[in-house]
Amino acid sequence: MTMEPAESPSLDMVTAALRADSSDITIYAKVLTESLGAALPPECVIIERERSVSDRMKGRPGAVTKITVRLGDQVMSLGLVRGAPVAEICREVRGVILSRQPVAVGQWADALARALISHAEQNAATAEALRRLVMGGGS
C-alpha cells in the first residue's frame, strides 16, 4: 500500500489499522500509545499504567491498563477489568459526562476511527499520526 504524504487515510484504512492488533489488549494499547500518544496533544490521550515494585525499581513505566482518547466532546476509553477488555464511549461537555455507553472493542475502534478522521481534517499532527498508523510505522 503506497500513500502520498499529503493524502489523508480513509475511514476504512484507519479502522482496519485500529482493529489489526485489537485481539491482544496489551499490544493494542501499545500501538495506540505509540502512534497516537506521540502525535496528539497530551490532553487528548491519557494512559493509565500499573507499576509493580520491580517496574519502579528498574525505572520501567509499567503495563498499560487503560487508554482514554478525548476528541471534542467524545471520550473513548479502553481498559482491562479482570483481564478482559472493556470499551466505553462517553459524551462529555465542560467536564460533565452526559452519556456513557459500554461497547464492543470493534465498535469502539470504529468510533475512534471516525473521531480521529474528523479531528485530522482540522489538525495536521493528527493527520500525520493516522498516516503512520495506517502504514504500520508506530511512532
Q: Is 11 a member of any domain?
A: no
**Could you tell me which residue, 77 or 3, shows the higher pLDDT?**
77
Contact assessment for residue 116 and residue 126, using Cβ atoms and an 8 Å cutoff: yes
pLDDT digits (tens, 9 = 90+) for 8-49: 445 455 556 655 555 566 666 666 666 666 667 778 888 888
Give me the pLDDT at residue 6, please: 41
> Has residue 88 been placed in a domain?
yes
Could you tell me the pTM of the whole model?
0.69
Q: Is residue 57 part of a domain?
A: yes
Q: Work out how many domains the chain is built from and give that number.
A: 1
Sign of CA dihedral 19, 24, 30, 33: positive
For residues 126 and 47, give the distance between their C-alpha atoms in angstroms, rounded to a whole number.
18
d(CA 114, CA 103): 15
| Domain encompassing residue 124 | 19-132
Task: Output b/e per residue, 88-101; b: 16+ Cβ within 10 A.
Answer: bbbeeeeeeeeeee
